[in-house]
Every structure is written in structure tokens, then in C-alpha cells.
């Protein structure tokens, strides 16, 4: 009876790692989108595909959670972790969709900076998830969490500068609205990375 309650082909740690790896791919694709103005619509489609793939993993993880009696972490932690991770790609996809929809071809320095910060945070998130599996190196995991928090602060600062520069230099109110939406979506993605880091930090501190 209990055998059917335990996942046989995958583990929750597999879900976390697969999701985080796709998030790295998605943020890398966004960096490519804002670095070069070529193939923006194709890159936006690819980011949407990645976001869908992360949604599938999230649904599989939540479904497994409801069917599993014994879990390696507190069920609430598992649910919060996978859903916060999923939020990251939701916001990246929202930003990419707007870049394509608004037909923006001239990229601002700030959108490039935000994309870079987010990609670095995604790499740290992936590494933290990879190490979470066995907790053999808790201090490295905690350092990754600190790095993600630092990057979120960096994203906050970039957002403030970006919005200030928009209001100082941009005369077209529609353009201001477009870029402000994109900046805020990227900063929200960074916020969710910080949420993920905080959850992982809590798991580590409770289990070491």
C-alpha cells in the first residue's frame, strides 16, 4: 500500500533541479534577446516554450506532493519552493512577451543590466537546488542564498535608476509605460529568486 505513495521514477529534488536548469535557459535566452535586436520574436517564443516546460514540472511536482505520504522536506516547503521558482519564469516570460509585443528594438542599458543580474541569480538558484539534494555542503548553499539576496538588492537599485532615467529623459509617455512594465517584471522575477533563496536557507538551517 505505502509503495504506491512514494514516487518511483523521480524525486522532488529532481523537480527542483530540472526547473532551475530551465530557468537558467530562459534567463540566458532573455539576455540574448536584449543583447541583440535580431530574432526577437523567435526568442520570445522560445522563452514562452521554456515557461510552459517549467509549468509542466510544477504541476507534476504538486501532483506528486498530493500523492506522497513521506516527503524529504516539509510538504509546505516543497510547495512554496516549486511555486516561487515557477513565478520566476512567469515574470521573465511576461517581460519577453512585452519586448516582442511592443516591437522594441533599441534596448536600454538598464534592461541589459537587469537581464544579467537575473541570469546570475538563476545560476545561483540552480546550484543551490543541486546541492540541496544531500546537504553535504550546507555552507556553500547558504553562500549561494546570500549571493541571490545581494543580486536582488542590485536589481532593486537598477530598477530605481532605470525609472528615474525614464522620467528624466523620455518624453513619450507611452514609451515610459512600456519600459516601466518590462523593468518591473524583471525586478519581480528577481524578487522571486530571493523568495526561493529564503526558502532554501530555511530548509538548510532546519536540517543541519
Query: For position 191, which CATH number holds?
Result: 1.20.58.220
Asked if residue 20 belongs to a domain, the reply is: yes
pLDDT at 10: 56
Which contiguous run of DSSP H or E holds residue 146?
helix 138-169
Asked if residue 18 belongs to a domain, the reply is: yes
pLDDT reading at 1 higher than 50: no
Instruction: Take residue 20 and report the three cell numbers written for it.
Output: 532551475
Q: Where are the beta strands (DSSP E) in the chain?
A: none
| More confident position, 207 or 78 | 78
pLDDT reading at 80 higher than 70: yes
Q: pLDDT tens digits, residue range 91-100?
A: 999 999 999 9
Residues 6+ apart with CB under 8 A from 55: 86
Mean pLDDT to the nearest integer, 113-117: 98
Asked if residue 149 belongs to a domain, the reply is: yes
Asked if residue 2 belongs to a domain, the reply is: no
Q: pLDDT tens digits, residue range 140-190?
A: 999 999 999 999 999 999 999 999 999 999 999 999 999 999 999 999 999
- Per the structure, the complete domain to which residue 109 belongs is given by 10-207
Asked if residue 129 belongs to a domain, the reply is: yes
Q: pLDDT tens digits, residue range 11-65?
A: 899 999 999 999 999 999 999 999 987 899 999 999 999 999 999 999 999 999 9
pLDDT at 9: 45
pLDDT at 4: 43
CA–CA separation, 184 vs 67, rounded Å? 37
Residue (of 89, 91, 67) closest to 78 by Cα position: 67
pLDDT at 3: 39
Asked if residue 5 belongs to a domain, the reply is: no
pLDDT at 39: 92
Q: Is 170 exposed, middle or buried (0-12, 13-18, 19+ CB in 10 A)?
A: middle
Asked if residue 106 belongs to a domain, the reply is: yes
Asked if residue 3 belongs to a domain, the reply is: no
Structurally, the chain folds into a number of domains equal to 1
Mean pLDDT to the nearest integer, 119-126: 98
Can you give the pTM of this predicted structure?
A: 0.92
CA–CA separation, 78 vs 203, rounded Å? 10
Amino acid at each position: 500500500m505505502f509503495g504506491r505513495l512514494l514516487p518511483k521514477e523521480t524525486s522532488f529534488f529532481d523537480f527542483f533541479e530540472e526547473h532551475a536548469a530551465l530557468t537558467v535557459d530562459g534567463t540566458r535566452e532573455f539576455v540574448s534577446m536584449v543583447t541583440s535586436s535580431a530574432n526577437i520574436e523567435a526568442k520570445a517564443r522560445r522563452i514562452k516554450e521554456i515557461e510552459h516546460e517549467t509549468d509542466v514540472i510544477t504541476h507534476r511536482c504538486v501532483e506528486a506532493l498530493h500523492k506522497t505520504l513521506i516527503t524529504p522536506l516539509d510538504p509546505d516547503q516543497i510547495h512554496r519552493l516549486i511555486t516561487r521558482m515557477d513565478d520566476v519564469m512567469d515574470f521573465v516570460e511576461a517581460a519577453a512577451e512585452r519586448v516582442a509585443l511592443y516591437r522594441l528594438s533599441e534596448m536600454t542599458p538598464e534592461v541589459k543590466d537587469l537581464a544579467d543580474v537575473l541570469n546570475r541569480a538563476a545560476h545561483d538558484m540552480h546550484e543551490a537546488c543541486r546541492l540541496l539534494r544531500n546537504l553535504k555542503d550546507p555552507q556553500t548553499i547558504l553562500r549561494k542564498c546570500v549571493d541571490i539576496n545581494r543580486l536582488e538588492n542590485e536589481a532593486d537599485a537598477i530598477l530605481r535608476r532605470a525609472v528615474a532615467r525614464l522620467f528624466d529623459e523620455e518624453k513619450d509617455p507611452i514609451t515610459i509605460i512600456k519600459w516601466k512594465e518590462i523593468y518591473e517584471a524583471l525586478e519581480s522575477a528577481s524578487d522571486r529568486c530571493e523568495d526561493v533563496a529564503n526558502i532554501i536557507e530555511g530548509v538548510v538551517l532546519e536540517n543541519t
